[in-house]
């Protein structure tokens, strides 16, 4: 039986990702104007500051009450994921499953910190103003009504749809268009590993948690 990743090491993975995610967000938030971009590797990898007002890809959910509901849902999801991580480490799940859950938990926590507290501790970022932390006039929002900071942008392909194409003909085409953060990357990586390696993850876990049968018994 393989050695299982213990809960302390899983917690360390979560903490490391969380620190990197928040450090980058704090730097971007207090150093960039809204919409400001800086090329890192040519024009296919940029730091581009934007904020997510609600759900993924900039979608919103029913104004302020929707935002509150979304924040509470995220908190509930994190509690469930954290309990799941605790259970699988205690039950002897394999390292790959524990790693995936740790990545998902770290990413969820990283974005919850933004939506829960950033509205209270920062003033508004704009095209004319860089935000400051703990401003004298107070934050731009209230508890659980903050915006998620996004900055990783990979416009690897920039072109236009063919003119003959219905609906989108002649319009700009960018791949990859969404702007995201370390927390989003962590969640996506964890989920993709679970999807593409689910047989290995869950079969190995079942084998580790079923006690061996003594042939002589």
- Cα separation, 137 vs 29, in Å, equals 17
Task: Give the chain's length.
Answer: 217
| Domain layout of the chain by residue ranges | 7-207
Q: Which residues contact 5 (CB under 8 A, 6 or more apart)?
A: 89, 95, 98, 99
What is the CA 41 to chain-centroid distance, rounded? 22
Q: 111: which 2 tokens?
A: 């974005």
Cβ pair 187, 105 in contact under 8 A: no
Of the candidates 111, 97, 129, 134, the residue with the CA atom closest to the CA atom of residue 5? 97
What is the block-wise mean pLDDT of the chain (217 residues), using blocks of 10 residues? 77 98 98 97 93 63 72 92 95 91 97 95 97 96 93 90 84 86 96 90 62 44
- Whole-structure pTM value: 0.85
- Cα separation, 139 vs 142, in Å, equals 7
Write the pLDDT tens digit of every residue in 69-110: 888 888 999 999 999 999 999 988 889 999 999 999 999 999
């Amino acid at each position: 039986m393989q050695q299982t990743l213990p809960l302390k090491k899983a917690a360390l993975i979560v903490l490391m990702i969380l620190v990197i995610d928040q450090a980058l967000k704090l730097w971007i938030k207090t150093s960039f104007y809204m919409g400001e971009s800086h090329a890192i590797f040519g024009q296919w990898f940029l730091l581009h500051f934007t904020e997510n007002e609600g759900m993924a890809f900039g979608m919103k959910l029913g104004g302020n009450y929707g935002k509150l509901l979304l924040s509470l849902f995220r908190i509930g999801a994190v509690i469930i994921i954290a309990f799941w991580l605790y259970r699988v480490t205690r039950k002897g799940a394999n390292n790959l499953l524990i790693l995936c859950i740790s990545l998902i938990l770290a990413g969820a926590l990283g974005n919850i910190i933004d939506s829960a507290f950033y509205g209270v501790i920062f003033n508004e970022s704009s095209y004319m103003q860089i935000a400051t932390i703990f401003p004298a006039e107070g934050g731009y929002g209230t508890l659980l009504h903050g915006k998620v900071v996004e900055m990783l942008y990979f416009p690897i392909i920039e072109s236009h749809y063919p003119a003959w194409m219905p609906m989108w003909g002649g319009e700009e085409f960018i791949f990859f268009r969404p702007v995201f953060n370390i927390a989003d990357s962590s969640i996506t990586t964890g989920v993709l590993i679970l999807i593409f390696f689910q047989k290995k993850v869950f079969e190995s876990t079942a084998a580790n948690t079923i006690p061996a049968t003594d042939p002589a018994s």
